[in-house]
A = this chain, B = another copy of it.
Amino acid sequence: MATRPDHPPPEISWSGWGDPALAAPLPEGLGTVLRQALGIAGHGRPAPPLQELRLTPARLPAAIAAELADIVGSSHAREDHETRARHARGKSTIDLLELRGGELIDAPDLVITPAGHDEVQAVLELCRTRRVAVTPFGGGTSVVGGLRADASAFVGTVALDLRRMNALISVDDESRLAVLEPGLRGPEAEALLGARGWTLGHFPQSFEYATLGGFAAARSSGQSSAGYGRFDDRVLALRVATPAGTLELGRAPKSAAGPDLRQLVLGSEGTLGVITSLTLAVDPAPEERVYQGWTLPSFAEGTTVVRALAQDGPRPTVLRLSDEAETAMSLARPDALGGGPVPGCLAIVGWEGRFEEVERRRRVTAERLLAAGAEAVPGAGEDWAAGRYRGPYLRDALLDAGALVETVETAAFWSALPRLYATVGAALLDTLRDAGSPPAVLCHISHVYPSGASLYFTVACAQLEDPIAQWQAAKAAAGEAIVAVGGSITHHHGVGTDHRGLYPREVGALGLDVLRAVKRALDPTGILNPGILLER
């Protein structure tokens, strides 16, 4: 009764985001503003043709490659240039700038696509013996350098692409849970579950290309997290292949049987094992989806309203609040650009569920918003929904136009949020301005909880001579600011390599010792994603 998608998913652009057919040039009005306000001149360096991308030579011994091909079948072990190139980098701005930069790119020597748990287990045990580094590969959408494992201490690197492990194994309607394989992409999982009346309610910006295994391994959180929760909250049981054997974790919704070992695998970013099966809580597919836009007088006042909804309810399904700068950008229409600033701060409030419940929650929320001085913005909710997965396409166009654009996200308790907002924003602004590229720094609150929320900054400025170094400096300053104020170094992007330097300050030296001990128990020779999450 396992079901799979009818056709293979579209390939993601190797050098940018998404379906190349959907790539679009920068709207003319926005281009004008960028040139005027941010001093962006000229164009960014374009990506070379794929065949001209320079890759490090493959170095995996042929005998080992043959052994691996024996496990998965030779048609599922590929070492051609295009396949290697497509598994070399994730989707951070630095990744994309590198692919455009003409540098020599390190890429996996071999890409294998196992058919199921037993093959993954066999691959890991072989690679453990042969000292081959292994990079689990889901959608390849990491934005924190999660695909930059350092295999220098190993005889080669294998990317373990999980795309063939894409079955909906079973659904337990009574318990509202489903067993799924890790290689399913967001839309595929939604289609298979939707046909049975269920949803995961997990819609991050990477939704169209990221996979379930990646959502779990990197503790993803989606745009509807206020209502549906985070992805890790949904994980009831996991099957995990590790170099030391198989872990089977989770027998009940909750348990007092010792520490929750599922929580070690969640967030482990492929460093402890490969998730080969997920048992996930599912929710009824909604009868109705409604998204609205409202403006609130200021970011501070809007924060108070958003906090009240997060704490006292009724909790919307989607709840986000842009600061003044992001609001001006969001509500600006090409034909209005250059006009006066849009006043206030835009909140997007959405509800999904049964008709009756949506209507009730929507009515009560509207009363609260109106009481706080909010004004409805006709069409803004629908606009947000229509564009919710378009951001990364816009980044490609901005890079083409010579802009540097990237995001920084963090989370903290409510009482720390104003200082976190001010400090991180100032760090980004000052660092880039002092380097000679005054930026636009936009921010929104999303992913609300009773005790706190995340802040999500978007930064755009002109690319300087070395845009990678330019961004790394800004990012480092933002990270220092986050740690100083006591926020978490990442709310939902993960650690990867970009946050690895800050990670010891998040969990402390002893916390790191604990994690290394776990790593040694499951991956004694350190083959899994070396240099991701933990320093090698």
Contact = CB atoms under 8 A, between A and B. Distances in A.
A246 B510 contact: yes
Interface in A237-259: 242, 244-249, 251-259
A252 B515 contact: no
A413 interface: yes
Contacts of A257: 267, 488-490, 494-495, 499, 503, 506-507
Contacts of A260: 232, 263-264, 266-267
A281 B414 CA distance: 12
B175 A491 contact: no
A378 interface: no
A517 B515 contact: no
Contacts of A218: 256
B176 A450 contact: yes
A515 B411 CA distance: 29
A409 to B, nearest CB: 9
A514 B264 contact: yes
B507 A261 contact: yes
Interface in A185-240: 218-221, 230, 232, 236
Interface stretch (A22-30, A35-43, A82-90, A518-526): A518-526
A307 B173 CA distance: 12
Q: How many identical subunits does the complex contain? A: 2
Interface residues of A, number: 84
Contacts of A14: none
A236 B451 contact: yes
A410 B256 CA distance: 9
B507 A252 contact: no
A172 interface: yes
Interface in A133-160: none
17 contacts: A174-B414, A177-B451, A242-B510, A249-B507, A251-B506, A252-B413, A255-B488, A255-B491, A256-B494, A257-B267, A258-B267, A258-B268, A258-B506, A259-B266, A260-B266, A263-B264, A281-B451
Given A253-B450, A258-B507, 18 more contacts: A174-B307, A175-B452, A242-B510, A244-B510, A247-B511, A253-B413, A253-B452, A255-B411, A256-B488, A256-B490, A256-B492, A257-B267, A257-B490, A257-B495, A259-B265, A259-B272, A516-B521, A517-B518
